[in-house]
């Protein structure tokens, strides 16, 4: 097979090498054959467009999930999500990743991840929307801390609203406080 590569074009000899890799699959253990298939996928990246080769690498990452523990496979999927961010500038992918992390860690850590997500959204939306996101975050904090602290957070929120609304409304907010 490899000798044939000297007699045919680059594309044909590449196909011959690929057939060889897959043929080796029949002669070695499952783990080795898997590694051979992975090498083949990555090798294909040199012969196709960047987008196709990227898809091949993504398929490889997800395929690895079948061969390793749940935690490792999860990390592979996370890496894949972030890798997608380089190709599509998809902020939503990063957000999905943060929220997905919530399923793997304690409630407190997952809460922090959600808070980070809210604040990160602040960079992508208008000041008013980002302000609302921060307000939601403050109020959400009330569920995780003592009543006194949560009350202080609500008071800070009321006073913060003072900067965003008319004097009359802000006066009413201060009265309510």
**Structure confidence at residue 144 (pLDDT):** 54
Question: Long-range contact list for 32-36, CB < 8 A, 24+ apart?
Answer: 34/67
pLDDT tier for residue 168 given thresholds of 50, 70 and 90: low
**Structure confidence at residue 137 (pLDDT):** 60
Write out the two tokens for 69: 């523990």
**Structure confidence at residue 167 (pLDDT):** 57
**Structure confidence at residue 57 (pLDDT):** 59
pLDDT tier for residue 42 given thresholds of 50, 70 and 90: low
What ranges do the domains of the chain cover? 29-89
Mean per-residue pLDDT, 8-21: 58
Mean per-residue pLDDT, 130-157: 57
- The per-residue pLDDT of the chain, averaged, comes to 56
Q: What percent of the chain has pLDDT over 70?
A: 0
Q: What percent of the chain has pLDDT over 90?
A: 0
Taken as a whole, the chain contains a residue count of 177
Q: Number of H helices and number of E strands within the chain?
A: 9, 0
Q: Say if residue 81 is exposed, middle or buried (CB neighbours under 10 Å; 0-12, 13-18, 19+).
A: buried
**Structure confidence at residue 162 (pLDDT):** 57
How confident is the model over 62-114, as pLDDT tens digits?
555 555 555 555 555 555 555 555 555 455 555 555 555 555 555 555 555 55
**Structure confidence at residue 119 (pLDDT):** 56
Taking the C-alpha atoms of 30, 31, 37 and 43 in order, what is their torsion angle to the nearest 10 degrees?
-160
Render 53-86 in DSSP notation, one character per residue.
HHHHHHHHHHHHTTTS-HHHHHHHHHHHHHHHHH
What does each C-alpha distance from 7 to 12, 13, 23, 98 come to in angstroms? Answer: 9, 8, 20, 52
């Amino acid at each position: 097979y490899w000798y044939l590569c000297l007699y045919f074009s680059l594309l044909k000899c590449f196909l011959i090498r690929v057939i060889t890799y897959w043929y080796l699959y029949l002669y070695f253990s499952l783990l080795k054959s898997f590694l051979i298939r992975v090498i083949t996928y990555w090798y294909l990246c040199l012969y196709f467009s960047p987008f196709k080769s990227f898809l091949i690498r993504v398929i490889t990452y997800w395929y690895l999930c079948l061969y390793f523990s749940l935690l490792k496979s999860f990390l592979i999927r996370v890496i894949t999500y972030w890798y997608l961010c380089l190709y599509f500038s998809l902020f939503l992918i990063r957000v999905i990743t943060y929220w997905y992390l919530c399923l793997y860690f304690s409630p407190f850590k997952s809460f922090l991840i959600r808070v980070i997500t809210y604040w990160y959204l602040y960079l992508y939306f208008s000041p008013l929307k980002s302000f609302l996101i921060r307000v939601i975050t403050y109020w959400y904090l009330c569920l995780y801390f003592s009543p006194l602290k949560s009350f202080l957070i609500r008071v800070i929120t009321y006073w913060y609203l003072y900067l965003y609304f008319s004097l009359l409304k802000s006066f009413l907010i201060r009265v309510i406080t």
